[in-house]
Amino acid sequence: MSTPVDTAANAANAAAPQSKKDYVTDQEVRWCPGCGDYAILNAVQQVFPELGIPREKFVIVSGIGCSSRFPYYMNTYGFHTIHGRAPAVATGIKVARPDLSVWVVTGDGDALAIGGNHVIHMLRRNVGLKVLMFNNRIYGLTKGQYSPTSEQGKKTKSTPYGSSDRPFNPITLALGADATFVARSIDVDGPHMKTILRRAAAHNGSAFVEIYQNCNIFNDGAFENVREKESRSENALYLEHGKPLLYGKDRKRGLRLNGFHLEPVTVGENGVTEKDLYVHDEHAPDAAAVLLARLPGPPETPIPMGVFREVTVPTFEDKVREQIRDAETRFGPGDLEKLIRSGDTWVVKSA
């Protein structure tokens, strides 16, 4: 990737209003017809022009998988890296150029299998990256093997008798890594997804967004209970900071705290009122968000959508650059030639 040069032309472009077409490339978008990735791409291309960031300041970094074609379809800087290593590459970019808006686009296999270690350490460090993890509970690019988020008992090409693995819960994983921003959305709900993207972009630190994404070829209907409008109105719980946990078409269902778990109740029955319901607090200690993340989903409970947690702590790149400034103040600018020739040195000669 070449480094953007701050020229008068770039300054003029930055000041000019942007639109979705500024972020569309000439590349043919090559996902299967009906894939949820199209909706996510459309949402990102609509949100980026709203952020007030020059196009030259965006970088999209991906690993391997269907989602990882994203850099080709975004008219920004981008890297298509190797399997699972997008967070490592993106971390290097953000530390070297903290002024850039760096986004990691990944899938459930890329992020949570071979890339799992990179993801958790990037989140615990609070590197200022925005991570969009497309979760379709399958390996789509390699034609339908089970992934770290596939349900137990899932029959696939690699698990013909059903998966014996217990699946990862991506939200719980991110919270366990002490991520400072954790959210969930779904490909078919464009307005909600764009709201979450804007929130992630505004967050100062690691933003982890799980996006339920339908693979209509190899795992169609994985999120059927919240994909259709009718089922979504009954089964999705939209989290709102400072508001009670209400859901259902008539907004009469809710969640209240019973000991150390959240239980579904009906407002108006058995003396239950809205005052009995748990009030969502994005800034509460981890345990509160984990209770929401661990809800099993329909038919027992709803599926939470929105921001589970947002807290403010110093970013990794700010701390690193603070160390560099401190070292320069104490020892002066670095001298590579002096460093190489300091201490013990060896001269290697050919025979």
In a domain? residue 166: yes
Q: In this structure, are residues 292 and 262 in contact, taking their beta carbons and an 8 Å threshold? A: yes
Asked if pLDDT for residue 345 goes beyond 90, the answer is no
How do residues 273-331 score in pLDDT, each as one tens digit?
Answer: 999 999 999 998 777 899 999 999 999 999 999 999 999 999 999 999 999 999 999 98
Q: What is the length of the chain?
A: 351
Residue 2 lies in a domain: no
> Residue 56 — very low, low, confident or very high, per pLDDT cuts 50/70/90?
very high
Looking at residue 14, what is its pLDDT? 55
- Greater confidence, 334 or 85? 85
- The per-residue b/e assignment along 4-40, b for 16 or more CB within 10 angstroms, e otherwise, is beeeeeeeeeeeeebeeeebeeeeeeebeeebbbebb
Residue 285: what pLDDT? 76
What pLDDT is stored for residue 288 in this prediction?
83
Average pLDDT value for residue range 114-120: 95
Q: Which residues of 83-120 are buried (b: 16+ CB within 10 A; e: fewer)?
A: ebbbbbbbbebbbeebebbbbbbbbbbbbbbbbeebbb
Spatial neighbors of 170 by CB under 8 A, at least 6 apart, are 108, 111, 112, 133, 135, 149, 208, 210
- Please report, for residues 21, 31, 66, the alpha-carbon distance to residue 25 in angstroms, rounded to integers and kept in the order given: 8, 15, 17
- Asked if residue 183 lies in contact with residue 170, where contact means CB atoms within 8 angstroms, the answer is no
pLDDT of residue 338: 86
Average pLDDT, integer, range 25-51: 97
CATH classification at residue 30? 3.40.50.970
Asked whether residue 5 carries a pLDDT value surpassing 50, the answer given is no
Q: Provide the sign of the torsion angle of the four alpha carbons 261, 267, 272, 276, taken in this order.
A: positive
* pLDDT range class, residue 10, cuts 50, 70, 90: low
Q: Token digits for 182?
A: 């954790």
Is residue 187 assigned to a domain? yes
Region 35-54 average pLDDT:
97
Query: What are the structure tokens assigned to 123, written together?
Result: 């989140």
pLDDT at 6: 47
- The CA radius of gyration of the chain, in Å to the nearest whole number, is 23
Q: Is residue 88 part of a domain?
A: yes
- pLDDT level of residue 9 (50, 70, 90 thresholds): low
Asked whether 106 and 68 are in contact (CB, 8 A), the reply is yes
Tell me if 147 is assigned to some domain: yes
> For residue range 123-144, what is the model confidence (pLDDT) as tens digits?
999 999 999 999 999 999 988 8
pLDDT attached to residue 13: 56
> Which residue segment(s) compose the domain that 57 sits in?
8-222+314-324
Mean pLDDT of all residues in the chain?
A: 93
Q: How far apart are CA 76 and CA 55, in angstroms?
A: 6
Confirm whether 73 is domain-assigned.
Answer: yes
Q: With respect to residue 282, please indicate whether it lies within any of the assigned structural domains.
A: no
Q: Is the pLDDT score of 4 beyond 70? A: no
Domain count, the chain: 1
Written as six digits, the tokens of 143 are 């034609």
pLDDT, tens digit, 9 for 90 and up, residues 178-214: 999 999 999 999 999 999 999 999 999 999 999 999 9
Q: Are 214 and 136 spatial neighbours (Cβ–Cβ below 8 Å)?
A: yes
Q: In what helix (H) or strand (E) does residue 254 lie, and over which residues does it extend?
A: strand 253-258
Please tell me the predicted confidence (pLDDT) of residue 339: 84
> Which is more confident, 246 or 142?
246
Residue 190: how many other CB atoms lie within 10 Å: 15
Instruction: Answer yes or no: is 203 within a domain.
Output: yes
Distances (CA, A) of 348 to 126, 337, 343: 42, 18, 16
**pLDDT reported for residue 17:** 86
Of the chain, the percentage scoring pLDDT greater than 70 comes to 95
What's the whole-number mean pLDDT along residues 36-51?
98
The share of the chain scoring above pLDDT 90, in percent, equals 85
